[in-house]
Structures are given as structure tokens and as C-alpha cells.
């Protein structure tokens, strides 16, 4: 078996040197969905502004519907921003799934295996973090980062 010259017989780095894979992060949101919801929000805002400012015999019900249209546009904007902000970060602490209003960390000691998952519609694959207790986490659009995640898992499991 070939051994890495940077490692000792036990497979650990010599002299306490730490050789961990590089930390990093990547987007897992769907940009096309962010653009779609952004365009829907802009269209709804434009229509609501025209309805509210036209004043051509607008009824109370018409104004209420215009304000509801603005509320829907705000919801579309929140979804659009959320799609652009979703990402996964990996470091020595664990895997961090970052969304618009929350951050969930899965420490390495809770992850028992990292494996490739089902394919997505646009050709990428999910990555499954199998956690202790038969729970798993699906990381969207992370198939291209499977090797990095597996190297981190291996490096942290021998610590």
C-alpha cells in the first residue's frame, strides 16, 4: 500500500501538523427561481402602484385587492432573496446550511457518512449527510462538492 510521504505510519500528519481540506462554501439556492420570483414581485408591484394611483373610480374592494397584491409581492421578494442567499459552508466545526433567516450546523461528530444522493432536475445531485440515529440531511446542488465533503468527514473522523 502506498503511503503519503507527508503522513506517518499511523496515517496522521507528523509533528502535530494539521492537514485539513480547505474550508469553503457554495450556493445551493436555485438562481432561476430567484429570478422568476423577483420578476413576479416586480410585475405585482407595478400593477398595484398603477391601480392605487389611477383613481378611476376605484372602490374600497379594489384598493384592498391592490394592497393585498403588494403583500404578495413582498412575499415573492422574500422567496427570491432566500433563493440567492442559500448556501452550504464546510469547516472544522461541521457543515453549515445557511438560509435567509437561519443557520443550521451539523457537527462532524454527528455525521456518520457522506454519500451521493438522488439527482436533481437540472443534472446535479443531492448529497446526503447520514447522521447518527438514522437521520439524514439532504444538501441540494452539492454533487460537485461530494469529494470535498467526504475528505472533511474522513479528516475529522480520525481526530
Taking each helix axis from N to C end, the angle separating 31-54 and 60-85, rounded to the nearest 10 degrees, works out to 160
pLDDT confidence of residue 76: 96
Residue 13 has pLDDT above 60, yes or no: no
The predicted model gives 137-158 an average pLDDT of: 84
Q: By three-state DSSP, how is residue 85 classified? A: helix
- Contact predicate 145/116, CB 8 Å: no
pLDDT digits (tens, 9 = 90+) for 14-66: 544 456 777 888 888 888 899 999 999 999 999 989 888 887 656 888 888 88
More confident residue, 2 or 43: 43
Q: Where are the domains of the chain?
A: 32-83, 86-157
pLDDT digits (tens, 9 = 90+) for 56-110: 656 888 888 888 999 999 999 999 999 899 999 999 899 999 988 889 999 988 8
| This prediction's pTM | 0.70
Cell numbers for 154, please give them. Answer: 474522513
Residue 2 has pLDDT above 70, yes or no: no
The predicted model gives 115-124 an average pLDDT of: 77
Q: Domain 86-157: which topology?
A: PH-domain like (2.30.29)
pLDDT confidence of residue 39: 97
Angle CA 110–7–24, to nearest 5: 45
pLDDT confidence of residue 3: 46
- Residues forming a β-bridge with 127: 116, 139
pLDDT confidence of residue 43: 96
H or E, element range at 79 = helix 60-85
> How many CB atoms within 10 Å of residue 113?
13
Q: How far apart are the C-alpha atoms of 146 and 124, rounded to whole Å?
A: 11
Amino acid at each position: 500500500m502506498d503511503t503519503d510521504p507527508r503522513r506517518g505510519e499511523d496515517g496522521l500528519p507528523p509533528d502535530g501538523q494539521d492537514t485539513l481540506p480547505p474550508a469553503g462554501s457554495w450556493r445551493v439556492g436555485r438562481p432561476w427561481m430567484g429570478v422568476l420570483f423577483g420578476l413576479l414581485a416586480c410585475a405585482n408591484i407595478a400593477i398595484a402602484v398603477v391601480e392605487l394611483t389611477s383613481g378611476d373610480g376605484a372602490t374600497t374592494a379594489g384598493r384592498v385587492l391592490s394592497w393585498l397584491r403588494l403583500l404578495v409581492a413582498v412575499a415573492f421578494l422574500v422567496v427570491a432573496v432566500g433563493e440567492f442567499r442559500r448556501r452550504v459552508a464546510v469547516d472544522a466545526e461541521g457543515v453549515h446550511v445557511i438560509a435567509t433567516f437561519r443557520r443550521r450546523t451539523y457537527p462532524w461528530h454527528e455525521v456518520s457518512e457522506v454519500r451521493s444522493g438522488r439527482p436533481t432536475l437540472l443534472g446535479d445531485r443531492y448529497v446526503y449527510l447520514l447522521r447518527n440515529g438514522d437521520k439524514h440531511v439532504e444538501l441540494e446542488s452539492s454533487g460537485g462538492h461530494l469529494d470535498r465533503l467526504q475528505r472533511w468527514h474522513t479528516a475529522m473522523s480520525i481526530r
